[in-house]
Chain A
Amino acid sequence: MTTLTPSLIGPELAALGDFDAQACMNCGICTAICPLSTDVLPRRLMRYAALGMAERVRQEEEAVFSCLLCRSCEENCPAGVHITENVRLLRRWLLEHPRRLN
């Protein structure tokens, strides 16, 4: 169970740049087109980021860094989401907020 609160990554990402994953309408075209097409890339990653589910994004660190930034998804997104720019911002956010070791 995830509790969504305003303090999670949404506003932080917005502060880093032009983050627009919330414009996603969840059609799934990007995932169908993505040459890597993992479980999470790119639709579900956009979803976790848009909802501000920081823990989920951290768990999917691999996916975030494996993206080829080829922009195939972005070219085809009917909602005009800047998917690769969002991935870049997620990378930066992950570097600035590394997973805590416990």
Chain B
Amino acid sequence: MSGRRIGVYVCHCGGNISDYVDVDAVVAAAREDPDVVVARDAMFTCSDLTQSEIISDIGEHGLDGLVVASCSPKLHTFTFREMAKRAGLNPYEYTQVNIREQCSWTHTDDHEGATRKAISLVRAGIANTKGSAPLQPTQVTTTQRALVVGGGVTGMRAAIGLADTGLEVVLVESQDELGGWVGTFGPMFPHGTVGKDLVARLREDIGRRPSITVLTRGRVTSRAGTYGNYQVGVDADGAHHDFEVGQVVVATGFSAYEPGPGEHGYGAPGVLTLVQFQELLDRTEGRLAYQGRSVESLAYIYCVGSRGPEHAYCSRYCCSAAVHASLRVADVAPTARQYHLYRDMRTYGRNEEMFTESRRRGSLYMKFADDDPPVVETGTDSLTVRLHDLLSAGEELALPVDLVVLVTGMVPRQQDDLVGVLKLPVGQDGFFNEIHPKLRPVETVVDGVNICGACQGPKTSAESIASGLAAVTQVAAVLKRGTADLDPQVATVLAEQCTGCGDCTSACPFGAISLFGSGNGAKAVARVDAAGCKGCGACVPACPVDAIDLAGYTDHQVRGMIDALAMEVAR
């Protein structure tokens, strides 16, 4: 007996657990432990009703520890920690045991085995709670300044939003001017807004906000520090700057796909990428002409560089951008024949209206099979595109045209420097990865580093700006409180035991451990910076004399759990 007063709650999860695990048997096994004062089952432990029952149990029975046996800790750890707090119990005196993902869902063919496993895990959970201690979060004050890397529409809009929440902003752009891709565009879909004008307005908005420092021809050279307080180095225009910032927002955008020589005739006169064709349209006044010759017919080939072996994703913006370009052509050259050779039209949302309008105004759409792309024949003085049109029963069509537009997609920007400095997580597709595209869409696994805009993956301008504003909300939520609570489950050094060998300092992937206090005959002792420690535990096994413990996962607790599981096997 440890003298603890522990409550154990075993969940049915509707039938998700109790259809396979004998919940009553698990409750009965828990009651066998002399330290368990209360053990009950519940249909849905996470429901408000059950939570308030647990809270009254805690008061009534003077519970000083909890075990909840239900689903994955990923789902409800915070739910039950908050519940414990409301009952006046330290949230770290509670242990989550997963008998759904680890028992009922995995062993649907073996009810008895699933029940035995659940009992073992609950006994281990009880042992863990017995060894638990109340922990208090470390509170740090946060720096009221954010760094935004990349000055395209996303970064510009994010900088303005951050400044408007009252934060100071450092906006670093690698080029001579702010603006990114949109800063080079003429009329854009869906509203016909001229990209250059949009960027000019954003520049003015930035100029009116003295709390935004803009550094062009800049690059981020270093980042150090701990949660909410980072030191970043920036080289800009030959000068070096150091800033203290609380959070970093990365909005470094994308590159346009550049077709290889000969890819769909690329390189031959009259074969243009969408970027080049838009430039041609922007230059056009009156007659649409290419190299002095009127353009009477053109073919758009969609999905060039997207949805293939090299870049498997859809670039999202290009269907709409090509349709929009064809409407601009219809304005300046109403009689021009426009053929759109596509795989799937993805003019999603209201852009569908542009697609309809373009057909009404004469654009002809043809569909080719994924494994049978169109062929561009480049003669001395002519261009012919051939395809099998799935909409005409696979009929082979030959289209003699004056121009071929390759509807090129987005590819990740080569960013090795920045990825190295910020340790940015790069996905399989080469774009930066958020934690979860829907639930945590702008945070990364790197503390304090957020991402937004087209550096995350293909996005239209409006989508990019929306994600920039999401980053504003995220950063403001972290910084505007002025302080942040850090997880107290961090490594602690038992100073009397530490020999000062320093093995732990090199084991820590976050550089959070250093040696202190040598000289004067005193031995050096390792010290953990609680704000820098992520609680990963890498240092614990590295210590040759067991002088490091991880709060919340102490050796004592882990041994207790192993003993409980071993006892189960011995039974």
Enumerate chain A interface residues (CB-CB to B < 8 A): 1-6, 20, 22-26, 44, 47-48, 50-51, 53, 56, 79
Min distance, Cβ A78 to any Cβ of chain B, angstroms: 10
The 0/1 profile, CB within 8 Å of A marked 1, for residues 69-90 of chain B is 0000000000000000000000
Contacts of B392 in A (CB 8 A): 44, 47-48, 51, 53
Which residues does chain A contribute within 8 Å of B339, judged by CB atoms?
Answer: 4
Shortest beta-carbon distance from B176 to chain A in Å: 45
Q: Is the CB of B362 within 8 A of A1?
A: no
Which stretch of B151-159, B193-201, B397-405 is in the interface? Answer: B397-405
Return B90 CB to nearest CB of chain A, in Å: 62
Given contacts A3-B400, A6-B337, A51-B397, 18 further A-B contacts (CB under 8 A): A1-B386, A2-B396, A2-B397, A2-B398, A4-B337, A4-B398, A6-B296, A20-B360, A22-B363, A22-B364, A25-B365, A44-B393, A47-B391, A47-B392, A51-B392, A53-B392, A53-B395, A56-B395
CA distance in complex: A25, B395 (Å): 17
Q: Does B297 sit within 8 A of A, measured CB to CB?
A: yes
Q: List chain B positions with a Cβ less than 8 A from chain A.
A: 296-297, 337, 339, 355-356, 359-360, 362-365, 367, 386, 389, 391-393, 395-400
B379 CB to closest chain A CB, in angstroms?
14
CA of A56 to CA of B389, assembled, Å: 14
Contact B393 A23 (CB under 8 A): no
Output the least CB separation between A1 and chain B (Å).
4
Chain A residues, CB < 8 A from B391 = 26, 47
Given the contacts A44-B392, A50-B364, A51-B364, A4 and B359 also touching, CB distance less than 8 Å: no
Q: A23 and B359 in contact (CB under 8 A), knowing A6-B297, A47-B391?
A: yes
Taking the closest CB of chain B, its distance from the CB of A27, in whole angstroms, is: 11
Q: Are A1 and B359 in contact (CB under 8 A)?
A: no
Q: How far is the CA of A4 from the CA of B339 in the complex (A)?
A: 10
Residue with the highest number of chain A CB atoms closer than 10 Å, among B355, B389, B391, B396:
B391
In the complex, residue of chain B having the shortest beta-carbon distance to the beta carbon of A39 = B393
CB-contact partner of B400 in A5, A23, A79, under 8 A: A5
**Closest Cβ of chain B: how far from A55's Cβ, in Å?**
11
